[in-house]
Structure 1
């Protein structure tokens, strides 16, 4: 579905009208093409923290050109500041000193990353200073414009060697619709980063389960994981069997047709994965439904199905049961990853979606409940999409859809591939120290995020 508004603002008359009226002018976002370099340009690096001396070398291993000398007039595709050395609030001026001279030298669709220390792992003045970084990065994300993004990455002490996959994601076009987010590395469990043999095929040799895989966001998740080298096992309901089978044939994957809310679904999934694939490395709980209605009008209905119970069953209870069964049967391989698809509605709420928002907030609760319990290097994280352009959103009334797309720092809706790229980052074997995170894929919504 094309963005009619952006098409208008890109036209000669549209640019004039939008400037005159002070209307948002969304930039065309750069997205990743398979086989392309992670960063098409140079990244400027600064700071005096725990990672400062290693950053240029880390980026070099990713094929990213980086410099510490910014005295010339070159433009930059990205900026990375190591702020882990800030131990008191008076030192926060270092943020201005690094960024202000460089912000006007950024290329279009730039990437900005600030590295800090998890505030909960330090005390006193250092905790104050590190917590302040969140307000700085979220605000800069709403200022940067031109399709740019700004992120804060908290790196626990000892996890300095585990930042590669996260920097590869956040500095590349893969994170086109992710901005104003806070990521924690090494704050739960392992502080070690896994080995990635090939950054173009990080999932080579791994098996990925994707529920609700036949269309929409699920289809894009399957495609991106396949692009990154994974063997995809798609799951969907019998009504979507033909689409699912066609997609998995195209991706040289495997499929399983079932209703994930069925009593025996977790056991059938676990048995299939163990018998046919020897286990699974990536589990993506993507399947979901909406049954929207204001709570006052959501009375139980035996003949049409209970709107509240159906949504909770598909979106939350099924992922809980499947996850538990896979863990109990040790069907998830060592250093595997579990990813839940939540929603911005589960964070900020939404009119007519008490059932949906409860289910998606519960997905975040599942991450919180397991982040410190999982062993064998298994990680658990969630994505929380905002306004993603799909067949479902295409059915939303025009005025509502247009307003919904503009209420974020990028003034546009995201694409299913934006959610898929975020999940692929979580799934990477290099992300073994990335667990317990909820990252919003929402273009940094103006409210509630």
Structure 2
């Protein structure tokens, strides 16, 4: 589905007309292209103390020593336009400590390059923190989310929340920082993602452009839309993929699988033996199973007062009950034990609710609860379980929304547009990667900072 308005106000003669009339101009987002630089310009690292120094050193360090070879500035220089700002706030102790770094960031925002990035690193507020420390740490949350709403030109603001005892140079902290700085996070905005543990990054990655090399991934609901984009993105990152969808989508499924040299499995995920069949297929065709992506989902929208039993039960059956059964089968098999990754598709409806979607919202909130409870079960094997919660994404499903409602939904985000299936796929690929091993039981919104929920 194409956003015609976005195209018109950014190209040709209509772009000039839109500027003269003062019409809203949603930006063209900077999305990932293989071989493109991580950021296209200098990076300002704001903040004081050993953590800020360590982050700056890593970002500027030579690749031979694990660094990123970026042009890092430790002080804001007049006239310099920055591609990214990293505010290291892990050592704030009182709310007043936020003043200096916040104002440093504010001083360079007008010159932030299009598609720029602002990323905070902070610590979570804990129940046993003193009042001043808790206030300072929680204050970062409000600061970051509000800052993200002020950015323009396709720039985004996100935060890495580093759990107590985890160093800022831990593999998953740096991987999350890199994801937020990169064009892979084009439609992730105003989000704070917690890194829960300092764990090894997982299997050694020989090629950073292909972090899933040698890994076998199953993707359900793979025949079209977000599922197809997930398949294509995971294969781009080196994975071998088993694409799963219902028999009725068999032709589309075969085309998707053939295009990436994967294998196709026609299967109703609600079948009692779905988990067993998925595992048997993966082992028979590829010899292993490393990542399970629960993407299959349906909607049967209706106001609750008009909700028929089958509308309710079918949505819960596909969207969460099937995931539970398949995951249970994998856990019981003894085959899902090599730093496994489970990534499930939730929704912003499961976080904020949505009129006419009580069944869908219940199922997607259930997914969020499922990954939170599943993560500790996978942790002994070096595994993780996390969720991705899309907002308004341009798919065949959203194309069926009435035109006026669709336009309103597109503009109800800080980025003033719907996301693309690839935006969701990039988040899934990140959480499926070896370097995301310290992120456990979390839900990452991919919604352009939609103005609902948090």
Q: Could you say whether these structures have the same fold, taking a TM-score greater than 0.5 normalized by the shorter chain as the test?
A: yes
**CA, structure 1 residues 49+291, in 2 after alignment: closer, same or farther (shift >3 Å)?**
farther
The corresponding residue for 2:343 is: 339
Q: Structure 2: how far apart are the matches of 1:159 and 1:324?
A: 33
The corresponding residue for 1:118 is: 124
1:169 aligned to which of 162, 166, 179:
179
The corresponding residue for 2:147 is: 140
The corresponding residue for 1:81 is: 87
Q: Structure 1: how far apart are the matches of 2:70 and 2:359?
A: 44
The corresponding residue for 2:55 is: 55
Q: 1:65 deviation in Å? A: 3.4
Q: Structure 2: how far apart are the matches of 1:423 and 1:65?
A: 29
Q: Structure 1: how far apart are the matches of 2:175 and 2:391?
A: 23
5+ long unaligned stretches in structure 1: 301-305
Q: Structure 1: how far apart are the matches of 2:57 and 2:102?
A: 25
The answer to whether residue 417 in structure 2 is matched with residue 412 in structure 1 is: yes
2:318 aligned to which of 296, 303, 314:
314
The corresponding residue for 2:166 is: 158
Q: 1:63 deviation in Å? A: 4.7
Q: 1:220 deviation in Å? A: 0.3
The answer to whether residue 330 in structure 2 is matched with residue 326 in structure 1 is: yes
Contact kept, 8 Å, 1:83 with 1:115, in 2: the verdict is: yes
2:451 aligned to which of 442, 446, 449:
446
The corresponding residue for 2:396 is: 391
Contact kept, 8 Å, 1:175 with 1:422, in 2: the verdict is: yes
The answer to whether residue 24 in structure 2 is matched with residue 24 in structure 1 is: yes
**CA, structure 1 residues 402+432, in 2 after alignment: closer, same or farther (shift >3 Å)?**
same
Structure 1 vs Structure 2 CA RMSD: 1.6
Q: Structure 1: how far apart are the matches of 2:174 and 2:90?
A: 17
Cα-to-partner distance string for 1:200-239 (whole Å, 9 max, x where unaligned): 1111111111001111000000000000000011111101
Contact kept, 8 Å, 2:161 with 2:192, in 1: the verdict is: yes
Contact kept, 8 Å, 2:18 with 2:25, in 1: the verdict is: no
Q: Structure 1: how far apart are the matches of 2:4 and 2:261?
A: 36
1:12 aligned to which of 1, 16, 21:
16
The corresponding residue for 2:64 is: none
Q: Structure 2: how far apart are the matches of 1:244 and 1:190?
A: 39
Q: 1:121 deviation in Å? A: 7.4
**CA, structure 1 residues 290+327, in 2 after alignment: closer, same or farther (shift >3 Å)?**
same
Q: 1:122 deviation in Å? A: 5.9
Q: Structure 1: how far apart are the matches of 2:232 and 2:436?
A: 20
Q: 1:50 deviation in Å? A: 4.9
What TM-score comes out, normalization by structure 2 length? 0.93
Please give the secondary structure, in 1, of the residue aligned with 2:337.
Answer: strand
Q: Structure 2: how far apart are the matches of 1:252 and 1:38?
A: 29
Name the structure with the higher strand share. Answer: 1
What TM-score comes out, normalization by structure 1 length? 0.94
Q: 1:72 deviation in Å? A: 4.0
Please give the secondary structure, in 2, of the residue aligned with 1:310.
Answer: helix
Please give the secondary structure, in 1, of the residue aligned with 2:351.
Answer: helix
**CA, structure 1 residues 431+68, in 2 after alignment: closer, same or farther (shift >3 Å)?**
same
The corresponding residue for 1:71 is: 77
Q: Structure 2: how far apart are the matches of 1:70 and 1:237?
A: 55
Please give the secondary structure, in 2, of the residue aligned with 1:275.
Answer: helix
Q: Structure 2: how far apart are the matches of 1:364 and 1:120?
A: 21
